Amino acid sequence: MAVGEGPLRGILVVSLEQAVAAPYCSARLADAGARVIKIERAEGDFARRYDFDVLEQSAHFVWLNRGKESICLDIKADDDRRLLHAMLDRADVFIQNLMPGAAARAGFGGAALRERNARLITCDISGYGDSGPYAAMKAYDLLVQAESGLSSMTGTAEEPARIGASVCDIGTGMYAYAAILEALYERRDTGRGKGVAVSLFDSMADWMNVAYLQYRYAAKVPRRLGLNHPTIAPYGAYPCSDGAILVAIQNEREWPIFCARILDDATLESDPRFASNVLRVEHRTELDVVVRAAFARHTVEQMASKLGAANIAFGRVNDVAALARHRQLRLAPTETEAGTIEVIAPPAWRAEGSPAFGPVPKLGQHTDAVRSEFLG
């Protein structure tokens, strides 16, 4: 699929964005064929300076901003405000992740914009929403991992940990993307746009539903178990003689197979301590002694071979270097101002082939062209 084609071709997205969550959302729209105009301050999206690890460019920025046009605006300046209004009068989608209330104070609140352009879909992305006692708080990914309780159940028994990827930002960006697609679909019938809003906290709170429900109705507090599942056993990482491998027993049909073919002890199937998943979780300490002893007798590749032959789910405990050479990894070329790089391809496969990504824009690369287009 060529650049500019795809199911969202003809859709104009204007995004007043920075950092990760909003750019992640608009990047998905650009990948699907939408025209995305990214508005940056004169100094640029601060994600441009998170690092300089990709041909002297930021890894975050080149990942999140392919296929967009970059313009520099000062929305407090009259000429730039006039340009932004002219763009939004013709746009299909407006995304912004300024501090709550900042867009409205500048004259770009969602309700007012939809009065001018009834077909416009507005998407506000924030840390905690635009109301409530936390609305004015600054919010970044790690802060929300902690505030939502996610970090309390992540890590080892000794201490909590940050999830290594920016899951709050990415999850919020995906929720915003889905909400925008729903609004575009609804507009086909109604002819009208609508306002949608997504917050980092709400996104992570949704991911915490199982832990919340277990606490709320069974008074269970999640324990930090490292690379082990809190409610399934055995489901975790076990050391082999030269590394570790992660194994998952998801149902009772697999348990006797695991005992006979992996643990080499069929009698464990009828051990009253391990007769059901609930009991195996209750007696996890004793179970782990047995599993660890069996795994320690093999290398990672030997155990992988045994597990594969028995059709037991497993995964190698890889690092980033192993991911970079993973045989299943799909890559896609992306043009940047410093040259062509390879990024990990989007997870959704299309039957007609992989999309062709547009280039990562230079700061303000399209300002003059866009100004001429919309203001003549």
Q: Give pLDDT, residue 253.
A: 93
Q: How confident is the model at residue 346 (pLDDT cuts 50, 70, 90)?
A: confident
Q: How confident is the model at residue 354 (pLDDT cuts 50, 70, 90)?
A: low
Q: Give pLDDT, residue 296.
A: 96
Q: How confident is the model at residue 353 (pLDDT cuts 50, 70, 90)?
A: low
Is 5 a member of any domain?
A: no
For residue 265, the domain's CATH number is 3.30.1540.10
Clarify whether residues 38 and 61 are in a common domain.
yes
Clarify whether residues 56 and 177 are in a common domain.
yes
Clarify whether residues 74 and 155 are in a common domain.
yes
Residue 144 Cα to chain centre, angstroms: 14
Q: Indicate the SS3 state at residue 60.
A: helix
Clarify whether residues 41 and 73 are in a common domain.
yes
- For the segment 24-52, the average pLDDT, to the nearest whole number, is 94
Instruction: Please give the Cα distance from 71 to 371 (Å, whole number).
Output: 9
Clarify whether residues 34 and 97 are in a common domain.
yes
Is 1 a member of any domain?
A: no
pLDDT in tens, 137-149: 889 999 999 999 9
Strands (E), 41-163: 68-72, 93-96, 121-126
Domains held by the chain: number: 2
Return the closest-CA partner of residue 98 out of 135, 151, 134. 135
Is 216 a member of any domain?
A: no
Token pair of 251, please?
A: 């149902």
Instruction: Please give the Cα distance from 117 to 90 (Å, whole number).
Output: 8
Q: Give pLDDT, residue 225.
A: 86
Is 293 a member of any domain?
A: yes
Instruction: Please give the Cα distance from 114 to 94 (Å, whole number).
Output: 10
Clarify whether residues 68 and 103 are in a common domain.
yes
- For the segment 66-95, the average pLDDT, to the nearest whole number, is 95
Strands (E), the chain: 12-16, 35-40, 68-72, 93-96, 121-126, 195-199, 235-240, 243-248, 313-316, 331-336, 339-344
Clarify whether residues 175 and 105 are in a common domain.
yes
Clarify whether residues 86 and 143 are in a common domain.
yes
Clarify whether residues 69 and 175 are in a common domain.
yes
Do the Cβ atoms of 23 and 31 come closer than 8 Å?
A: no
Length of the chain in terms of residues written = 376
Q: Give pLDDT, residue 4.
A: 61
Instruction: Please give the Cα distance from 303 to 312 (Å, whole number).
Output: 11
Q: How confident is the model at residue 156 (pLDDT cuts 50, 70, 90)?
A: confident
Is 251 a member of any domain?
A: yes
Which spans in 155-313 are helix H?
167-190, 200-207, 209-218, 254-257, 277-282, 284-296, 300-309
Q: Indicate the SS3 state at residue 27.
A: helix
Looking at 316, 345, 362, which one is the last position of a domain?
316
Clarify whether residues 61 and 123 are in a common domain.
yes
Sign (positive or negative) of CA dihedral 238, 241, 245, 251: negative
Clarify whether residues 47 and 179 are in a common domain.
yes
Q: Indicate the SS3 state at residue 339.
A: strand
Is 155 a member of any domain?
A: yes
Is 226 a member of any domain?
A: no
Q: At what angle do helices 367-375 and 78-90 cross, to 10 degrees?
A: 70
For residue 44, the domain's CATH number is 3.40.50.10540
Q: What pTM, to 2 d.p., does this model score?
A: 0.88
Clarify whether residues 265 and 190 are in a common domain.
no
Is 43 a member of any domain?
A: yes
Q: Give the structural domain span for 183.
A: 12-207+329-375
